[in-house]
Structure 1
C-alpha cells in the first residue's frame, strides 16, 4: 500500500513538474511574441515571427499573426508607394501650372507696360494668353478626373456597345489630321459586329487619348493603325504606330501618375503625364485591361481588352 501511494505521489509530482515546465515554456513563448511584435511595429521591418513549438494551437496563432503581418507590410508598401507617387505628382503639377502662369503674367505685363503696341500685336499676345490658360485648365481638369476615378466617386454605368461603330467613329475623327500629316492609316474592322460591355462615352475618351498619343509620340513613323478583334470571351482594340516607341525599361512605368514620354530637349513630346494613367483607370472601371507592346521604330501597340457580349 505504501509503495502504491508512493508511486502515485511520484507520478503527481512528475505531472506537476511537466505542467510547471509547460507554463514556463508558454510564458517564454508569449514573452518572445510580445517583444518581437513590438520590435517589428516600432522598427517597421518586414520580419516574421519564428518560433519552434509543439503546441498545435500556438502554431495556428503564429500562422495567422504572420499572415496579418504580411498583409500589413503589403499595405504599408502600397501606401508608401502611393504617397511618393502623389508627392511627385503634386510637385510636377505645381511646376506644370507655374510655368504657363508665369508666361501668362509675362504677356500681361507686356500689355500693361507697352502703350505703343499696335492692334495686331495685342491680338497675338491675347491668343498666347488664351492658349496658356487653356493649358492650365486642361491640366487641372485631368488632375481632378484622376482624383475622382481613384476615389471611386465617378459613376460609370456599363452597357452593351457596338465596338465596330465606336472604333470607326473615333478613327474617322482623326482621319483628316492623319492624311494632312502624311500618315499611312490602316483600319481593320471585322465584318461581323462585335459587342462589348463598357461605357461608350468613356471608351471614346480612351481611344481619343490613345490615337492622340500615337500621332504625337509616334509621328516619326508616319504610320498608324486601329484593329478590332475578338476571341470567345473578350474584345480587343489595338492602336499602333511605328514611331520612337517605348523602351523595355520604361514599359511598366507609362501608366504611372506623372510619368511622361517626353524627351526634355524636344517640346513636341511634352505632356502632363496624366493621360495614360486616366486611360488605364477608365479601362479598369469598365472591368477591362490595357496592355502595351513596343519595339521602337518597328511597332508600338496599346491594346484595350473588354468583356465580349454575344447576343
Structure 2
C-alpha cells in the first residue's frame, strides 16, 4: 500500500469514528434526558426554586455534559485499537533508529496498520541483510589483502635474495651467475602470474566483467589449447589424450575468458597428477549442453577438501602438490568457476579414489541477455 493510500485510509477511519461517535452520543443523550436525567433535574429544581429559570439551565448543562461523556467514551473505544497500533509502530521505528535491527514490530492484524508493520519488518530485514553483506565485503577485502600479501612476499623475498647475491658478486662462476639470474626471472614470472590471477579474480567478482560472445567450434578451440599445453606436460612426463568426435561443437562463448578457464583446469590437473601419468580431455554433447571434461589421477582427497576446491585462496596440501610446479594464489579454479557461470554454464568435480574429473557444462545456445556480443558464423 502506498503512503498516499495509507493516509487516505486512516483519514476515512478517523472520520467514520468521529461521525459514529457524534450520532451515537446524540441519540444516547436524548434517550437519557427523555427517560431519566432531564426529568429528575427539572423535578428537583422545580420543587426548590419553582419560579426561577435555573432548572432549564441546569437541564441543558446536564445534556451537554452527557453528550460530551458519550462522545469521548465512544470515540475512545473506537480509536483505542488504532492508537495502540500507532504507538507500537512508533516504538518499533524508534528501536530500529537506535540500531536494534533484530527488533520486529508485532503484527496485530491484516488491516492497513498491519500492512505498515509488515513493511517496517521487511525494511529491518533488508537493512540487516545489507549490513551483513557490507561486513562480508569488508572481511573479504581483508582476507584478500592478507592472502595476496603473503603470496607475493615469498617470490619477492627470493628475488631480493638473488639480486643481493648478484649485486655483491657472491657467486663462484658464470654458471652459478646464470642460475641466479634464471631463478630470479622465474620468481618474477611467478609474481606476474599471481598478480594476473588477482586482477582477473577482482574483475570477475566486482560485477564489471564484460563478455564478448562469439559463435565458435569448441572442438577446434580445445585442439589449439591442448597443442600449446602439450610441451609443458611432456616436460613433466605427462601425456595428454584427446577423446571426442571430429564433428563441430558450436557454442556461444567469450573466447579469451573460456580459454583462461580451460587452461586453469589443465594446469590444475598437471600440478596434481601422478607422474608419469596421463591427462584425458573429453568433449561431448549431452542434451542441450556441451560437456568438457579433464580427467587425471592423483592422490585422493577428502569430501571436505572437495567442497573447498572451488573456493578462493584454497590450496591443496604440499604433499599433493608437485613440488616442481610453482605455488599459485589458490584462485585458478575459483576464476574458472566465475567464468563458466558468466557463460550460463556449470562447473564441478567428480572424484573417486584418486580419479579426478573436472567438468564444464556449457549451453549449446547461450541465453545472452546481460552482455552484448557478436554472433559470428562458423
Q: TM-score, normalised by structure 1?
A: 0.84
Structure number with larger C-alpha Rg: 2
Correspondence for 2:284: 229
Answer yes or no: is the 8 Å Cα contact 1:232–1:308 preserved in 2: no
Counterpart contact for 1:163–1:194, Cα < 8 Å: yes
Are the equivalent residues in 2 in contact too, given 1:247–1:295 (CA < 8 A)? Answer: no
Give the CA deviation at 1:138: 1.9
8 Å contact kept, 1:221–1:244: no
RMSD between aligned alpha carbons?
A: 3.1
Does 2:310 align with 1:255?
yes
SS for the counterpart of 2:281 is strand
Within the alignment, does 1:6 sit opposite 2:63 as a pair? no
> In 1, distance between residues paired with 2:273 and 2:127?
42
Q: Which residue of 1 aligns with 2:373?
A: none
User: Partners of 2:234 and 2:166 in 1: how far apart?
Assistant: 39
Structure 1 residues 88 and 13, CA gap change in structure 2 (3 angstroms): closer
Tell me if structure 1 keeps the 8 A contact 2:88–2:105. no
Instruction: Report the more deviating stretch, 116-125 or 185-194.
Output: 185-194
Question: Contact 1:161–1:195 at 8 Å: present in 2 too?
Answer: yes
- 1:300 maps to 356
Question: What CA distance in whole angstroms lies between the structure 2 residues aligned with 1:295 and 1:28?
Answer: 62
How many residue pairs were aligned? 306
CA contact (8 A) 1:161 1:196 kept: yes
For structure 2, list consecutive stretches of 5 or more residues without a partner in the other structure: 1-25, 33-65, 367-376
- The structure 2 residue matched to 1:27, chosen from 86, 102, 109, is 86
Per-residue deviation, 1:306: 1.6
Pairing partner for 1:128 from 183, 187, 210: 183
SS of structure 2 residue aligned to 1:309:
coil
Would the alpha carbon gap of residues 76 and 243 (structure 1) be closer, same or farther in structure 2, given more than 3 Å must change? farther
> CA shift at 1:151, angstroms?
2.8
Question: 1:281 — aligned with what?
Answer: 338
Shift of 1:48: 5.2
Q: Quick one: distance in 1 between partners of 2:188 and 2:295?
A: 32
CA distance 1:62–1:13, change in 2 (3 Å): closer
Deviation of the 1:162 alpha carbon: 0.8
CA distance in 2: counterparts of 1:85 and 1:2, whole angstroms: 71
Cα distance in 1 for partners of 2:286, 2:148 equals: 41
Aligned residues of 1:206 and 1:282 also touching (Cα < 8 A): yes
Matches within 5 A, 1:133-172: 133-172=188-227
Where in structure 2 are the equivalents of 1:112-127 lying within 5 Å?
Answer: 112-114=167-169, 117-127=172-182
Report 1:70-219 matches (<5 A): 70-114=125-169, 117-178=172-233, 181-183=236-238, 185-219=240-274
User: Which deviates further from its counterpart, 4-13 or 134-143?
Assistant: 4-13
**Alpha-carbon distance in 1 for matches of 2:72, 2:164:** 98
The structural deviation recorded for 1:2 is 8.3
Distance 1:18 1:133 in 2: 82
**Structure 1: stretches of 5+ with no match in the other structure:** none
Higher mean displacement: 125-134 or 152-161 = 152-161
Residue 268 and residue 262 in structure 1: after superposition, are their counterparts in 2 closer, same or farther (change >3 A)?
farther
TM-score (norm 2): 0.70
Displaced runs of 4 or more, over 6 A: 1-4
3-state secondary structure, aligned to 2:347 = strand
